[in-house]
Amino acid sequence: MQRTLKQTINFEGIGLHSGKIVKMSVYPAMADHGIVFVRSDITDKNNVIPAKYDHVVDTKLCTVIGNDAGAIVGTIEHLMAAFAGCGIDNALVEIDSPEVPVMDGSSSAFVEAFDDAGLEIQEKPRRAIRILKEVSIEKDGKRASLRPGNLSTFIGEIDFDHPSIGKQRYEVTLLNGNFRHDIAEARTFGFKHEVEMLRQMGLAQGGSLDNAIVLDETKVLNKDGLRFENEFIRHKVLDAIGDTALAGGPIIGTYEGEKLGHELTNLLLRELFKNDDAWTYEDSYIDAGNDTALSIVQNRAVKHLAMSS
SS3 for 283? strand
17, 78, 235, 262: the catalytic one is 262
Choose one: 39-47, 149-157, 181-189, 288-296; the region binding Zn ion (CB under 5 A): 181-189
Q: Is 193 a catalytic residue?
A: no
Q: From CA 46, how far away is CA 67, in angstroms rounded?
A: 8
Nearer to Zn ion, 71 or 79 (CB): 79
Least gap, CB of 239 to Zn ion (angstroms): 4
243 lines the binding site for Zn ion (CB under 5 A) = no
Task: Tell me whether residue 130 or residue 234 sits nearer to Zn ion (CB atom).
Answer: 234
Contact call for residues 77 and 63 (beta carbons, < 8 A)? yes
Helices 77-86 and 108-117 pack at an angle, to 10 degrees, of 40
**Can you tell me which of 2, 67, 188, 295 binds Zn ion, judged by CB under 5 A?**
188
Residue number, 107 or 290, with CB nearest to Zn ion: 107
Neighbour count for residue 139 (Cβ, 10 Å): 13
Contact 171, 154 (CB under 8 A): yes
For residue 39, give Cα distances in angstroms to 95, 96, 103, 237, 262: 5, 6, 19, 28, 22
Count of residues engaged in binding Zn ion, rule: CB under 5 A? 2
CA 306, CA 108: separation in Å to the nearest integer? 37
Nearer to Zn ion, 28 or 156 (CB): 156
Report the run of H or E that residue 308 belongs to, with start and end.
helix 292-308
Q: How far is the CB of 168 from Zn ion (least distance, A)?
A: 15
Contact 206, 20 (CB under 8 A): yes
Interaction of residue 107 with Zn ion, rule CB under 5 A: no
Interaction of residue 239 with Zn ion, rule CB under 5 A: yes
CB atoms under 10 Å from CB of 106, counted, come to 26
Residue 182 or 239 having the CB closest to Zn ion: 239
- The region of 2-10, 27-35, 83-91, 233-241 touching Zn ion under the rule CB under 5 A is 233-241
CB of 82 to Zn ion, least distance (A): 12
Give least dist CB 183 to Zn ion, A.
11
Active site residues: 262
- Catalog residues that contact Zn ion under the rule CB under 5 A: 188, 239
